[in-house]
Structure 1
Amino acid sequence: MGFAEEHRRWLDYHLKQRKGERLDRLKRGHGHGEQMFAERVWWPIFGHFDHLHPEYEVSDWRGRPYFVDFVWNPGRVKFAIEVKGYGPHVQNSDRTKYRQELNREICLQIGGYRVVAVPYDDLETTPGLTISLLRSLFMPYLTVSEEEKAHYSRLEREILQIALRTGGGIRPADLVQELQIHPRTAVKRLRSLCDKGKFQPIMVNGSSRVNRYEYIHSIADSHIW
């Protein structure tokens, strides 16, 4: 699935899990900036929303509920991600709010979160910079075990390497030429990778014939080999 479908499925899942203020906050809080981060930064890095929680409720230093834009909790570490605009943090009339925000960040770190502030303006103008920085930040926490590596054959790992290098769609003919394999083998391995969630078939307009296979980006793939 593409971003729009996967984002809708992910958001619907979290909406169904909530009620009361937590539900209302998700409906109100996941706005333009958060959706732009999801589409322009998170999706190009991961290609999925596993372990990412929108409008995640935590407690501040007073014990009051506070909602973080995103929390990513893959198991080894917890990241609290906030999309921040420029205006609210430089106006003197908001000094109290600004102090409270800094105190909340300290509380998040006390609670074991690594706090990441993402500039809203960069999402509009230079999302590539944010992608580059977050890839470097997240990479140490995305190592793949030997058991996970064994889930892929040698040929499948080579196909994933090609997909990472080209960053786009792959045709069986491309693999035949580059890897010197039989066309049926290329199709079989691509279908296997579709079943494992690494590719999705792209049909020719108006037919059921597959034209190419689109790679589903995942930062963890660079560790598979």
Structure 2
Amino acid sequence: MEYEKAHEVWINSHMKRRSGERKGRLERGHQHGEELFVRYVWWPVVGSFAQLHPEYEVADWRGRSYFADFAWITGDLRLIIEIKGYGPHVRDMDRKRYCHELNRDTFLQAMGYRIISFAYDDVADRPELCITLLRMVMSRYHSIGESDGLASRDEREAMRLAYQMAQPLRPKDIETHLCLGHRTAVRLLQELCTKGYLTPIHSGNGVRVTKYGLGGKPMGEMIW
């Protein structure tokens, strides 16, 4: 499903299940920064809105309702994602609001949530950085399954390493991580390119492949 249609179905499905303030917050809250995030960061990484909840209501340490920008809830993992603009979260924040925000984040961590925040400016102007960071975070909580098209343990471990690293893979990285010979490591990387999980990066003269970056297959097509 293309992004526009998937986004429409996702928002409408949450609107139909909500009422009162929970519905109102979704109508008022899913605005420019949040839409930029799901379009240019979440969708390229995951390729699905399954188990992602916009304007997610939780209680803070005082028992008061708080609406997080997003919550991704799958299995035992509860991940809260916030998009924070400089104005409301830094420039216009007084000491009391600053204390409340820190107390709330600490309380939610104690309640079993994991919290990550992205600056609005990065989401708007540097989405590739946010993509890299989101991939690194999510790779800590996923295990690649047998039915995802990855035929061997080495392929699965290579992809796990690819998501954990903040830079393209080199054959040397695979050799060290999996204790493989150079030729075997190169063959493994080439096979992952053939399957669409990685893409080759050529050297400056365009002749030799020296590194391998993440391919176009989103995480949502794997069994994480």
1:102 is matched by which residue type in structure 2? L
Secondary structure of the equivalent of 1:141? coil
**What corresponds to 1:97 in structure 2?**
97
- Measured against aligned partners, the alpha-carbon deviations of 1:124-172 in whole angstroms (never above 9, x if no partner) come to 11110110011011013221333x34xx596xxx7985333359xxxxx
* Larger mean Cα displacement after TM superposition, 137-146 or 86-95: 86-95
Secondary structure of the equivalent of 2:94? helix
Q: Which residues of 2 match residues 79-118 of structure 1 at below 5 A?
A: 79-91=79-91, 94-118=94-118
Aligned equivalents of 1:117 and 1:107: distance in 2?
16
**What corresponds to 2:124 in structure 1?**
124
Secondary structure of the equivalent of 2:100? helix
Whether the 8 Å CA contact 1:109–1:115 is kept in 2: the answer is yes
Whether the 8 Å CA contact 2:48–2:220 is kept in 1: the answer is no
> In the comparison of the two structures, how many residue pairs are matched?
172
* Larger mean Cα displacement after TM superposition, 70-79 or 11-20: 70-79
1:90 is matched by which residue type in structure 2? V
1:10 is matched by which residue type in structure 2? W
Whether the 8 Å CA contact 1:76–1:141 is kept in 2: the answer is no
Aligned equivalents of 1:6 and 1:93: distance in 2?
35
**What corresponds to 1:185 in structure 2?**
none
* TM-score of the pair, normalised by structure 1: 0.68
- Measured against aligned partners, the alpha-carbon deviations of 1:179-205 in whole angstroms (never above 9, x if no partner) come to xxxxxxxxxxxxxxxxxxxxxxxxxxx
User: Structure 2: which 5+ runs fail to align?
Assistant: 152-190, 201-214
Q: Percent identity?
A: 44
**What corresponds to 2:188 in structure 1?**
none
Secondary structure of the equivalent of 1:79? strand
Indicate how the Cα distance of structure 1 residues 23 and 221 shifts in structure 2: closer, same or farther if over 3 A, else same.
closer
1:163 is matched by which residue type in structure 2? G
**What corresponds to 1:164 in structure 2?**
197
User: Structure 1: which 5+ runs fail to align?
Assistant: 168-214
- Spell out structure 1 runs of 4+ moving beyond 2 A: 88-95, 158-167, 215-218, 220-224
**What corresponds to 2:3 in structure 1?**
3
**What corresponds to 2:136 in structure 1?**
136
